[in-house]
Amino acid sequence: MTDEQDQPEILPPEVRTAATELIWRCSRCGYQRARAEGPPDACPDCGAPREEFYLVTED
């Protein structure tokens, strides 16, 4: 019987830097909006619904 040590690699939590800013981006046309404003009900550019917006980091 082997006595293997099971040590899963513990990755550090997502490192946040001041240079990294989250923004909302339309997945259809790439329209961007500041995170603080929240996702729009519909994209002003292409009319995509809010579900099409996702948070991305911009540096």
- List contacts with Zn ion (CB under 5 A): 26, 28-29, 31, 43, 45-46, 48
How far from each other are the two terminal CA atoms of the chain, in whole angstroms?
A: 51
Give me 36's structure tokens: 């603080």
In the complex, the smallest distance separating the C-beta of residue 55 from Zn ion, rounded to whole angstroms, is 15
The residue (of 8 and 29) whose beta carbon lies closer to Zn ion is 29
- Alpha-carbon separation of residue 2 from 5, 7, 13, 47 (angstroms): 9, 15, 32, 60
The residue (of 22 and 44) whose beta carbon lies closer to Zn ion is 44
The residue (of 20 and 49) whose beta carbon lies closer to Zn ion is 49
